[in-house]
Amino acid sequence: MTTMDRKGEIRMAAYGTLTYPEIAGQHEAWAAARQQLEQQRDWIEDHLRDGGYDETIFIGSGSSYYQAQIMAATFRSWLGRKAYAYPSSDILLFRGHSSTPGRKLLVGVSRSGESSEVVLAIRSVMDLPDWTVCGITCYPNSSMARLAPCLVSPLGAERSTVMTKSFSSMTFLMQAAIALASGSTGLLEQMDEALTLGASLVPAADALAKQIVDGHDLFRNYIYLGMGPLFGIAQEACLKIKEMANVWTESFGTLEFRHGPKSIIEPGSLVVLILSEQARAYELKVAEEMKAYGAKVLVAASETGEDTAIADFAFVTGGRALSDDARAALTLPLLQFIGYYTALKRNVNPDEPRNLTQVVKIQ
């Protein structure tokens, strides 16, 4: 072995030293978020329980925008009130296209609390008479947290560039907060059951992702499909493998994929279906169709059965009696580990994504 080869081996061994433990440690981050919720009940009372807002707007940038989509979907379903999700820049630069007259609650979503677009968007409305601002972050002393009262995921903070445990813990935290705001003990019990299920899912996700990636050649196309509260999960999963492994991939609403985009499917494609219970039968018809076109199919589902037998791979979260909202974060470890192991297979360091920094700022 030459000196150059040895150096290359050492360098490869160092790949993912930040990212891996953050993916692997996310259940602890969820548990800490759940405990934090008990300490921030005043935040819930002051913001989520107030039914006087005409609309609630969740904003974020990048992964945080996908979080905002999940949070808004759960807010609408569990609280029965109007809620929308927008990129932060839409509120900053196209506010008239993104909001209507009336009382508005703006919820900034940012891991670091330093993303320029989120901070500037909050500043742009915080002194307007009809706007109330708040946020969710992993950094209690960040710029956003100094501007607006924030929920905080205490173990969500990360050293790596790519969001993993921050994404899942902040999503879990906001959904649990919405459950608490609803006054429904049943919804909060669902979130607690999801937390219990999560303990065993992280190592299971690790093993399955490694098996899928190591056991096959690199796929030609990676397609992530989800609906309802799981659409934001599909978008985030798509971004994870794109960021970590520098491969091109797409995400779509599951049934929407059949309207044109399916033309890219060919042998060597991987279709990842984040299966809901609400639309399970419809979604599995899409999986069956993609399988017929030659794709490999991975299904992430609450449970498997005869209807999922067509899948090449299956990840079982458990919790079939839970709502799709409550189970949403449970699929994330698998989807993140797929990005991680694909990066290693391509000799790409997931700790140092090309062209990316942890905080994006407008210069």
| 153-165 pLDDT per residue, tens | 999 999 988 989 9
pLDDT of residue 357: 56
**What gap in Å lies between CA 70 and CA 253, rounded to an integer?**
13
CA distance linking residue 43 with residue 48, whole number of Å? 8
Report phi then psi at 57, rounded to 5: -120, 120
> Beta strand pairing status for 221-226 and 150-152?
unpaired
Residue 362 in this model has a pLDDT that exceeds 70 = no
- Most confident range (mean pLDDT) of 14-18, 41-45, 214-218, 359-363 is 41-45
Q: Point out which residues pair with 152 in neighbouring strands.
A: 137
Q: What is the distance between the alpha carbons of residues 106 and 169, in angstroms, rounded to a whole number?
A: 20
- pLDDT per residue as tens digits for the range 120-147: 999 999 999 999 999 999 999 999 999 9
pLDDT tens track for 309-338: 999 999 999 999 999 999 999 999 999 999
Check pLDDT > 90 for residue 355: no
Beta bridge partners of 83: 56
pLDDT at 51: 77
Do residues 108 and 59 make contact, with C-beta atoms less than 8 angstroms apart? yes
**Would you state the pLDDT for residue 354?**
67
Go through the domains of the chain in sequence order and give each one's CATH number. Answer: 11-183 (3.40.50.10490), 197-345 (3.40.50.10490)
Biggest CA–CA distance in the chain, Å, is 70
* Band of residue 23 on the pLDDT scale cut at 50, 70, 90: very high
Task: Report if pTM > 0.75.
Answer: yes
What number of CA atoms fall less than 13 Å from residue 361's CA on the CB side? 7
Could you give the CA distance from residue 295 to residue 287 in angstroms, rounded to a whole number? 9
Beta carbons within 10 angstroms of residue 354's beta carbon: 8
pLDDT of 6 reads: 47
Q: Residue for token digits 């509120």?
A: 91
What is the Cα–Cα distance from 286 to 272, expressed in whole angstroms?
11
Helices (H), the chain: 3-14, 19-24, 26-39, 41-43, 63-79, 88-93, 95-98, 116-125, 143-147, 165-182, 185-214, 231-245, 280-292, 324-327, 332-345
Q: What is the pLDDT of residue 4?
A: 44
- Contact by Cβ (8 Å): 314, 304: yes
CB 336 within 8 A of CB 23: yes
Distance (Å, whole) CA 242 – CA 7: 27
Q: Is 224 helix (H, G, I), strand (E, B) or coil?
A: strand
Cα–Cα distance for residue pair 190/188, rounded to 1 Å = 5
Mean pLDDT (the chain, rounded): 92
